[in-house]
Amino acid sequence: MIEVVPSIPTNNPEELNRAFEQTEGVTERISIDIIDGKFANNKTIDPSIVGDIETDLKIDFQLMVVEPINWVERCIRGQADRIIGHVEHMSDQIAFIGKVQEAGLLVGLGINMETPVGKIDKSLINSLDVVLLMSIDRVGFGGEKFDDAVFKKIQELNEIRKNDTTPFRIHIDGGVVPDKMDKLKKLGVDEVSIGTRIFAGDLAGNLANYK
């Protein structure tokens, strides 16, 4: 079964708190998009403020920023369980992965729709816990349409992890609607992020639509 992770991009601490309140006790993990206003034309909260929230949730930070390594310590202060850095503005993948792993946290790399899977260092990919594929063309905003071109990338990743004894998870983020879930499952996807609309109304009921 694919794990469905509620995801929130916000610059509003009150909205962030409400998202945590809704998610607590409903699912195990929440994802927070961190956008610096340079990687994408949007800006969200600083991850360190999440440290003030009392929660039992596992927290993902998806870093859509310039030089994600410079944000790792703030994510640690924000109670991170897993940190995913986008490669597009990452000068040293080895250093980023090493810094997250030295903190005892799970680590992943993410790529945008236009970025080929080959942008991830082949010597490092099997040491990752997760690879995140964006499935929309415009990152940093909700309501974008799912792009079926991501299916080919999923197949590429499956080929890479075939002979891995501890294979990384494949995570899809952006525009995922319930009728895409069967196809994603057949292709071997492990996780999907669902954005702001998942919090509208009953979270548990909304999540059930993706099962």
Q: Report how far residue 206's alpha carbon sits from residue 101's, in angstroms, rounded to the nearest whole number.
A: 33
C-beta of residue 13 within 8 angstroms of C-beta of residue 201: no
Q: Which CATH number fits domain 3-208: 3.30.420.40, 3.20.20.70, 3.30.565.10, 3.30.70.380?
A: 3.20.20.70
pLDDT, tens digit, 9 for 90 and up, residues 166-186 = 899 999 999 999 999 999 999
Average pLDDT over residues 144-172: 93
- DSSP of 178-201: GGGHHHHHHHT--EEEE-GGGGSS
What Cα–Cα distance (Å) separates residue 80 from each residue in 44, 84, 113? Answer: 16, 10, 25
**176 CB burial (10 A radius; 0-12, 13-18, 19+):** buried
Looking at residue 42, its pLDDT comes to 84
Confidence bin at 163 (pLDDT 50/70/90): confident
Say how many C-beta atoms besides its own lie within 10 A of residue 37's C-beta. Answer: 13
pLDDT, tens digit, 9 for 90 and up, residues 20-46 = 999 999 999 999 999 998 887 789 999
Looking at residue 116, its pLDDT comes to 97
Looking at residue 140, its pLDDT comes to 58
Average pLDDT over residues 116-142: 89
Looking at residue 144, its pLDDT comes to 75
C-beta of residue 193 within 8 angstroms of C-beta of residue 181: no
Has residue 188 got a pLDDT over 60?
yes
